[in-house]
Amino acid sequence: MAALMDRTATVIGGPPPGLRHDMAELWRHRGLFAMLVWRILAVRYKQTLIGSAWAVLQPFILMLVFTVFFGWLVRIPSDGMPYPLFFFTGLWMWTFVSQAFLAGAGAVVANGHIVSKVYFPRALLPAATVAASVVDFLVGLPALVALMAWYGVVPGWGLAAFPLALAVAGIMGLGLALWFSALWVFYRDTAYLLPFLAQLWMFASPVIYPASLVEPEWRAVFALNPMVGIIDATRWAFAGGPAPDPGLLAISAVAALLVLVTGYVFFRRREPLFTDHA
């Protein structure tokens, strides 16, 4: 009897638990989280020849194409950065965020067979895909270092901003993954909407043009797109770009946080209904 009293009780059908309970629950499932990340990477390496190297090859080849067309032919201003570095830093970050949210958005639906049989905090599914994207992303680092060496770019103080840019990018990717993975369960239209949205978003981000192309009075609005701060900081760190305005970086960081918080709230509200609709 006493032993029973000591154990934590699971209450079903009560009011929804608070954030503190949620966080404890997520922490308790950290082992499963690690396994889910591992599964994504392991399966990919078994099914493909070069695994995460795709995550470098894709932006690298696009960088070559962009350098020829937008660099040498169109002569897009690059704020003094060498074109290959300018495009690669932008594409590298863009590939990370877009892959994180595109793969994360499908995470709940793709794992419907598990969701319908076992309980665990479902947010682990999009979170695991985003974490796997971080691994892919870091695989691109050697390519970047090689490019920097080739162009004789010495990393400066901007390097300190890079971990922050990566964190904001991860927050952004996770926030969008939470939003869209929950939406996808209820609206299969999401599958068709997302690639299109991603394409539009890329043009709204300073991937193939510098943020300085935007008129100064519009930059604060422009920075509401977190990709602006993320890419600017990355170019500052690795491509010898100018130091970005800290105010704009702050706007981007706050916008990304907002996406994560609202995404989590939305996800949690929809989560109980997943199995009845997945």
Partner 1 sequence: MAAVTLHGIGKRYRLDDQRHRSSLAEQLQKRLARLAGRPAPPPEVAADSEFWALRGVDLEVREGEVLGILGRNGSGKSTLLKILARITPPTEGTAVLRGRVAALLEVGTGFHPDLTGRENVYLNGAILGLSRREIAGRMEEIADFAEIGRFLDMPVKHYSSGMFLRLAFVVLAHMDAEILLIDEITAVGDKGFERKSLAKLREMVGSGRTVLYISHDMHAVRSLCDRCVVLDGGRLRDQGDVDRCIRVYEMLCARGPLAPDRRAAG
The residues of the shown chain that bind partner 1, judged by CB under 8 A, are 1, 4-5, 7, 9-14, 31-32, 35, 39, 42-43, 46-47, 111, 113-120, 186-189, 272-273, 275-277
- C-alpha 198/C-alpha 170 separation (Å) is 16
- CA-based radius of gyration for the chain: 21
Q: Output 18 or 216, the one with its CB closest to partner 1.
A: 18
Q: Which alpha helices (H) appear in 187-245, and where do they start and end?
A: 190-203, 219-222, 226-238
- Please state the closest distance from residue 137 (CB atom) to partner 1, in A: 23
Q: Measured from the CB atom, is 128 or 223 closer to partner 1?
A: 128
Q: Which is nearer to partner 1, 60 or 184 (CB)?
A: 184
Please tell me the distance from the alpha carbon of residue 130 to that of residue 136, in angstroms, as a whole number.
Answer: 10
CB nearer to partner 1: pick between 33 and 137: 33
Minimum Å gap between C-beta 53 and partner 1 is 18
CA distance 48 to 158: 35
DSSP 70: I
Least separation in angstroms between residue 123's CB and partner 1 is 14
Contacts of residue 69, Cβ cutoff 8 Å, sequence gap at least 6: none
CB of 128 to partner 1, least distance (A): 11
Is the CB of 127 or the CB of 171 nearer to partner 1?
127
Please name the helix (run of DSSP H) or strand (run of DSSP E) that holds residue 215, with its range, or none. Answer: none
- Smallest separation (angstroms) from partner 1 to the CB of 42: 6
